[in-house]
Structure 1
Amino acid sequence: MNIENYIDQIAKNAKSASRVIASASTVTKNAALNNIADGIISSAATLITENEKDLMAAQKAGLSGAILDRLRLTEGRIKGMAEGVRQIVNLADPVGELIQGNTRPNGLQIQKIRVPIGVVVIIYESRPNVTADAAALCLKAGNAVILRGGKESIHSNIAIYRILTSALEKAGLDKRCIQLVEVIEREAIDYLLKADQYVDVVIPRGGEALIRTVVEKSTIPVIKHYKGVCHTYVDEFANLKMAEEICLNAKVQRPATCNAMETMLVHEKIAPILLPGIAKKLQDAGVEIRGCNQTCSILDNIKQATEDDYYNEYLDLILNVKVVHTIDDAITHITKYGSNHSDAIVTDNFNNAMKFTREVDSAAVYVNASTRFTDGYEFGMGAEIGISTDKLHARGPMGLEELTSYKFVVFGNGQLRK
């Protein structure tokens, strides 16, 4: 197979199909989504069989237990995948929404209308459910999508893809609206990232190494988040019981996620009171604590934090703890070491809360709540394609609206520019 020609044809097909899906009605798109959900449930046995092939290959390759867990499809996860697609059916269709409108003094009526982006490429690792989730979101937002999953999940992804294309055809839609790159060679990605004649945006989902590689090679705009180095600052005016509960949740509820806390900052006035109790609870939950000099003077049997530690996204039960002198020191630390993802302050002081929200430049900034809430579902968006730490064109959890752009539609009655 000539991989360059293969990718070129996929990209051309997507461009052609994007015009079809962009004008599809909500009823038709929802019918296709319901077909997808039904197909996932009715094909559960096939999905598990194909997934076993991937799991066996992954085990033989010596992949980690964490990767195997992300890769595994169970009956429960298959039902959850179908339910996720059905949730998208119930979301409002963003296409055609009037964002704003006005009438100029010369009588021109100017409308700003939400429209699909066009052709979206999504490059992702491990999780087969992303194949269905990403396809469903792009479909509802009126986009054609090209999916390129990791080679470790190729059998699972192809099985899910067969369900997707069958569902599109049953609904009367062009099956090329959703395409999967079925070759596992890395050069397929290289060609795909140069298809700027046909593709409008690339969204990578995976580790920092994958995202940096995509950004370096792509001639197409990339919406990205490199990593989630999230902080919780416990202010001198914090309710300490609340602070303890928030920090525990942010670290241990699901540590392998991008919105889990990686560094806890504590004001020096309350550090001797807060740290012994919360450290014990963290350690009881299996957390390894790495502390600054002042933290080490308060707590026994913890590691000394290094400069590099503060930049790390551990995605594990490891936590940096640093004592700071002021709220300004906390903000300075977050600015230097953070990744503009999610950061929180715990405080009962209104002025400090407002200062933190103004000066911390992250996609999500919290007052008295866990960073674990940075999620499309938790934000009431129903689902997400990912979490962006960019500022253009999307930031934070990316739902249906973030998978659209807009155009201006202007109505006149013969006006001429003077």
Structure 2
Amino acid sequence: MTVRPSRVLMWPGRVPPKEIRRLLTALIVLFAGASLAITLASGLGPPALPVTVLASLAGAGLGLWLARSCDVPRPAGALVLILLAAAALLATAFVLSGQPMTVFATGLPFAVVIAWQRPVWPSLVIASAAIGAAVLLRAAQEGGSSPATETIVMTVLLGAQTIGFAGAHVGWHMQRRLDQHDADQRDLALTRERLRFATDLHDIQGHTLLAIKLKAELARRSVERDPGVARAELQAIEELAAEADRRTRDLAEGYRTLALAVELANVEQLLGAAGIEVTLQRSGMPPPEHEQTFAALARESASNILRHTAATTVRIHLSDTTMVLENDGADPRTVVTDGRGTGLTGLHQRFAGHGGSFTWQHDGDRFTVTGEIGARS
């Protein structure tokens, strides 16, 4: 049996999501493209130009492979061999071209590893040695070059790359922390409501059951000795039971009419436990007098989604006047578009009672419900 996550997280787990991988790919294409463009415009001839281009492409490809597998732990020995290969590419491209910008392509493996792999020091040592060796070899070849200047330029360029990749790494981890904090807050809100309900139920039932117990004992002792007292106590027990029933129903009704924010958290929790991805966009909140109506819409829609669809995604948009819920996986054979048997008619009546409107639309496998109260014309 598949175990579903109990929390709705934007980026669950420790594997970088596709958004981060796309960002890393875009950075690699940007840096490598700039390096190749400058190399091609430098006026180099064969064999320096084709070898430099191949070394740059190889460095970019190695960097792309490392970025796409940045979450894969690697043995220290394997990582050192990879970085030594990258160092050879970096030195070859610079020695042949004399262009510090070639590091934008051949330095990509170092930038990715420094930003995403731990420990950092082997990568820093090999990157520094590669730049130093490349500059010294070029200086020995040309004689009149300035090793200090070229070293600084290549180090700064490599540092700029590293900052770009490190920014993506830090941003992802910050989003994961915020995402987890949001999930914890939703769980905390639900826990508080459950505790409130349990406390209120104990107060009602505990007091009433104790009173019934005492009166039942008194009635039992009075059955033969004083039937009138027994009948009075039995009547009191009946009234206590009726009062407890009424108060319990009132409590249950109050629990069903939770604040809208708590109801939305409950919907996210419920659908998330079923493996459905929930996206909540909130641009406002309805006034307090309308919250219960919108809460009923969220609750009934979640129930319909679980009962009548095979949804994988649900989108909820909430403003101060409108709530829209859209889900996929709707089966035309099970969706009742006239509202009978699905609770849609009841929602239509509730919104109409507050001067609003409630509509639903079925398009292919997508089902959308929209509730409005006080929408501006």
Q: Which has the higher strand share?
A: 1
- Decide which structure has greater helix share: 2
The structure whose RCO (Cα within 8 Å, separation 6+) is larger is 1
TM-score scaled by length of structure 2 = 0.19
- The structure whose Rg is larger is 2
TM-score by length of 1: 0.17
